[in-house]
């Protein structure tokens, strides 16, 4: 039987990957963000997960508006990095775990989640941007990416995303092999990169969101997309992917680490949790 060792919520942004590539982690404007990942990286080393399930969104690099699935699961031996218009991200391919991915796909479909299964999938900054802050290269842990539609309306509800996380936990615990699995929910927090509200960030809401996610996640499942956008900006609806992660954990959790940093166009959040004893 598989075991879920914990969950991580983390913002993603192409600027994080650019800063990493250009060795800016010690620069004053970036150091608070990069240093915050140290305790979570150490926790991952100690927890020794065999597989990482990553809830993220594709930014029109592998999935496009002509057929954009609500939920898509990657089942491949490896996942290359994507070209987002400035060349392919210069990181090694991410190793996959096809056997576990197909188990997950079957369990989720049987649990009435109609997954699109992708046997080829290039990964963009939705995963690439924060991954080198959590793991040393080459990537030590196989991943199973689950893409969530947070771009093309209609979007899955916050409640549906939380339920997807619960279904992932059931799938992990029904797996024959004794693997250790960590789940990650990515995106957000508050930001808006278009229209009249360009540059909008709401630190008070971001901090409140992380508090509710830790202690009262079911309250967050009641929020509509419109309410989330009003509180955090148009792109902040990505926080529903954090609810996928939180749904995979028990109602009572223990905090490993929490950080918030908002010096730029995005509220960067980081929250690591594990089930309470």
Residue-wise pLDDT tens digits, 62-100: 999 999 999 999 999 999 999 988 888 889 999 999 999
pLDDT of residue 65: 93
pLDDT of residue 177: 83
Regions of the chain where pLDDT drops below 50: none
Residues classed as catalytic: 125, 191
- From the CB of residue 215, how many other CB atoms can be counted at a distance below 10 Å? 12
232 CB-contact burial (10 Å; exposed 0-12 / middle 13-18 / buried 19+): buried
Are 172 and 198 spatial neighbours (Cβ–Cβ below 8 Å)? no
pLDDT of residue 265: 79
pLDDT of residue 125: 94
pLDDT of residue 277: 73
Out of 3.30.70.1400, 3.40.830.10, 3.40.1180.10, 3.30.300.30, select the CATH number for domain 3-275. Answer: 3.40.830.10
- From the CB of residue 22, how many other CB atoms can be counted at a distance below 10 Å? 10
């Amino acid at each position: 039987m598989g075991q879920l060792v914990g969950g991580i919520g983390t913002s993603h942004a192409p600027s994080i990957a650019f800063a990493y590539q250009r060795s800016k982690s010690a620069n004053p404007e970036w150091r608070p963000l990069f240093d915050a990942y140290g305790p979570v990286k150490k926790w991952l080393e100690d927890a020794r997960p065999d597989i990482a399930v990553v809830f993220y969104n594709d930014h029109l690099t592998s999935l496009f508006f002509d057929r954009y699935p609500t939920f898509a699961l990657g089942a491949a031996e490896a996942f290359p990095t994507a070209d987002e218009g400035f060349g392919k991200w210069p990181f090694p391919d991410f190793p996959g775990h096809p056997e576990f991915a197909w188990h997950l796909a079957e369990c989720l479909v049987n649990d009435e989640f109609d997954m699109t299964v992708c046997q080829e999938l290039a990964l963009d900054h939705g995963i690439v941007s924060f991954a080198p802050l959590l793991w040393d290269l080459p990537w030590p842990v196989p991943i199973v990416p689950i893409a969530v539609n947070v771009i093309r309306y209609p979007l899955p509800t916050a409640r549906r995303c939380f339920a997807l996380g619960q279904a992932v936990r059931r799938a992990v615990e029904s797996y024959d092999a004794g693997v250790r699995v960590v789940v990650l929910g990515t995106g957000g927090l508050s930001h808006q990169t278009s229209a009249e509200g360009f540059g909008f960030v709401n630190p008070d809401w971001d901090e409140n969101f992380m508090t509710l996610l830790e202690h009262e996640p079911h309250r967050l499942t009641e929020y509509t997309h419109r309410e989330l956008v009003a509180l955090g900006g148009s792109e902040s609806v990505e926080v529903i992917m954090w609810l996928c992660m939180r749904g995979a954990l028990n109602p009572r959790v223990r905090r490993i680490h929490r950080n918030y940093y908002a010096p730029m166009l995005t509220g960067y959040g980081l929250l690591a949790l594990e089930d309470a004893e």
